Chains A and B, each alone.
Chain A
Amino acid sequence: MTNALVLPVLIPLLTAIVLTFFRNSFILQRTLSFLATASSAGIGVYLLLRIQSEGILRLDFGGWEPPYGILFVGDSFALLLVTAAATVTSIILLYAFSTIGEAFEKMYVYPFMLFLLAGVNGSFLTGDVFNLFVCFEVMLLASYALLILGGRKVQLVEAFTYITINVLASWFFLLAIAYLYGATGTLNMAQLAERVAENGQGPVLTVISLIFLLVFSLKAGLLLYFWLPGSYSAPPAAIAALFGALLTKVGIYALIRMFTLVFHHSPEITQSIIGIMAALTLIGGSIGALSSSNIQQIIAYNVVIAVGFILVGLAAGNEVALQGSIYYVLHDMVAKAMLFLAGGLMISLTGKAKIGELSGLIRNYPTLGWLFFIVMLSLTGIPPFSGFIGKVLLGEGLIEAETYVLLTLAFLSSLFVLYSLLRIFLNCFMGEAIIGSEEQVVLKKRTLLPIVMLGVLTLAIGIGADAIAPFVNDAASTLVNPQTYIEAVLDKEALLKK
C-alpha cells in the first residue's frame, strides 16, 4: 500500500479543477499546469525506483482489499509509461505557452490538457477493467474538447466523426465488460487472470478477448485507424502532438496488458490475429504516409506505422520482443511529440501545409531543419538515437519467435518511415529558398526550446539505454510472468491472516 500511487492522477486532476476558476490569469495557469505535469513525472520516477526495491506497488481505495474494491497497481511497465507521458506533456505545455494563443488559453486549454493526462495516467495505473473504461472516458472527453477548441469548420466535422467512432468503441468496451462479468464474475484484472487460468480460456472467453481486441485496436489505431489521420491533423500542433504522443499509447498499453495478463492462453488465435492486424497496419500506414502530400497527414500516418511496429512485439510475445516494444513505446512518445511539434512549427511559420509549396526552409530556420533531421533519424532507428535499441530488441525477439514475415514487414516499414520523412525534409528544407530573409516570420527561441528538449531526450534515451534497461527488463519480465502481478495484487497469505 502506498498513497503516492494515486498522485500522478490526482495532481493533474485537482490542478485542472482549480485552474478552471482562474480563467483570465494566464501566468497562474501556465505555472500551475507546468508544475503539475512536472511533479507527476517526478513522482513517476520516485515510484519506479521504489518498485525496484519493494516489488509491485498497490493502492486499495477506501481500504477495500482486492478483489472487492477498485485499486491502482503500479508495476514497472505502468510507471515507465506514466513517467514518459507526464514528461512529454510538460514539454508540450512549454511549446503551447508560446504558440497556442490567448483565445485558446481563455478557453481552458491547459485544464483540458491536464484532464487528458489524468485520464491517461489513470488508464496506465488502474488494476480494474471497469475503472480502465472510466479512465478512458475521462481521457476521451478531454480529447473531444481539445479537438474542437478553436472551432474551425474542419475541426468540428472531424470531431463529430471522432466522437461517434469513440462512442461506438466505448459501447463495445462495455459489451466486453458485461460479457466478461457474466462469464467470470469479476472485473479485477488479477482475479480475472487467475480465474481465466483456472478454468481455461474456452471459446466464450476467447470471443470476449476478441471484443476487447476490437475495442483497444480502435483506440490504438491498430488496423482500425481510418479515423486517425483526419482527427490528428485538424487541431493545432501542440494539441496534435499531445494526441499523437499519448492517446494511441493508451490503447497499446491496454492491449499489451490484457493480452499478456488475462488472455494469453490461446496464443494460436489471439496472437496470430494481433500479428495479422499489426502487419496490415504497417502496410496501410506506409501506403498512407507515401500517398499524402500534406505534412500533417504524413505525420499522422507515421503514428499508424508506429502502432503496427510496437504491436508486432506483442504478436511475438516473448520477453525480448516485449522489451523491444516497451523501449519503442517510450521512444515513440518522445519522438512523435517532437515530430508533431516540428511539423506544426513548419506550417505555422509558413502558413502552408503541402510539401510542394515549401522549399529551402533550412536557410530561414537552420535549427528547426536539423531538429527535423534528428527526429527523422530517431524514428528510423539510427543509433545513437532512441529508436535504435527498441528496433534491435524487437528484431531479436521476432527472430526468436520465428515470425519472419512480421520481421520483414516491421523493418521494411522503417524504410517507409525514412522515405516519407525524407520527402518532407528534401522538399521543404532543401532546395532553393523561397522566403526572403526580410519577409520570414521570426522564430522565437522559446518556441524552439521544447523541440530541442525533446531532441535531447531522444538522444538521452538512446545513449542512456543502459540506465533504463533495469526498469524495462523488470517491466517485460512481469509481462511474461503474469503470476508476479497476480500474487502482488491478490496477496493470499496476507488475506488469510486478516
Chain B
Amino acid sequence: METLITLLVGVLVMVAVYLLLSRNFVRIILGTAILSHAIHLLILTMGGLKKGGAPLLTEEGSTYTDALPQALILTAIVISFAVTAFLLVLAYRIYRETGADNLDDVRRELDD
C-alpha cells in the first residue's frame, strides 16, 4: 500500500513540475497546488498507513494509528491554501496592470 501511494506521489510531482515549468501564471499556480497535495499525501504515508484503531484512548484496543501526520497535514493545508489564494490574487493583479498572463509577456512589458 505504501509503495502504491508513493508512486502516486511521484506521478503528482511529475504533473506539478511540468505545470511549474510552463510560462502561464495559472498553470504555475495549479502546479504549486498539485505539488502541495503530493507532499501532504507523502507525509501521510510516512506516518504509516492505517495500522490500528482510531487514536482515541479506550480500555480495549492496543495499537493506534499515528495521529501526528494528520495534524501536520492540516497545518500544511491551511498554509498552502493561503499562499495559493495570495498567488491567484497576485496573478490577477499583474494581469490588470500589464495585460499579460505569462512571464514572457510580462518581462517584455517591463523592458519597454
Interface of A with B (CB < 8 Å)?
A: 130, 133-134, 137, 141, 144-145, 148, 151, 153-154, 156-157, 159-160, 163-164, 167-168, 170-171, 174-175, 177-179, 181-182, 187
Contact = CB atoms under 8 A, between A and B. Distances in A.
Contacts of B106: 157
A157 B93 CA distance: 10
Interface of B: 20, 25, 28, 32, 35-36, 39, 42-43, 45-47, 68-69, 72, 75-76, 79-80, 82-83, 86-87, 90-91, 93-94, 97-98, 103, 106-107, 109-110
Query: What DSSP secondary structure best describes chain B's contact surface?
Result: helix
Contacts of A177: 43, 72
Given A144-B83, A160-B94, 4 more contacts: A148-B93, A171-B36, A178-B42, A178-B45
A174 B79 CA distance: 12
Contacts of A170: 79, 83
Contacts of B45: 178, 182
B96 to A, nearest CB: 10
Contacts of A179: 46
A168 B80 CA distance: 11
B82 A151 contact: no
A163 B28 CA distance: 11
A134 B75 contact: yes
A491 B61 CA distance: 31
A133 B45 CA distance: 19
A177 B71 CA distance: 13
Contacts of A134: 75, 79
B93 A153 contact: no
A156 B82 contact: no
B83 A167 contact: yes
Given A167-B83, A171-B35, A182 B46 contact: yes
19 contacts: A130-B75, A137-B79, A137-B83, A141-B79, A141-B86, A156-B90, A157-B103, A160-B25, A160-B94, A163-B86, A167-B35, A167-B80, A168-B20, A168-B32, A171-B32, A174-B43, A177-B72, A178-B45, A179-B46
A160 B43 contact: no
A174 B86 CA distance: 20
Given A156-B97, A157-B110, A144 B86 contact: yes
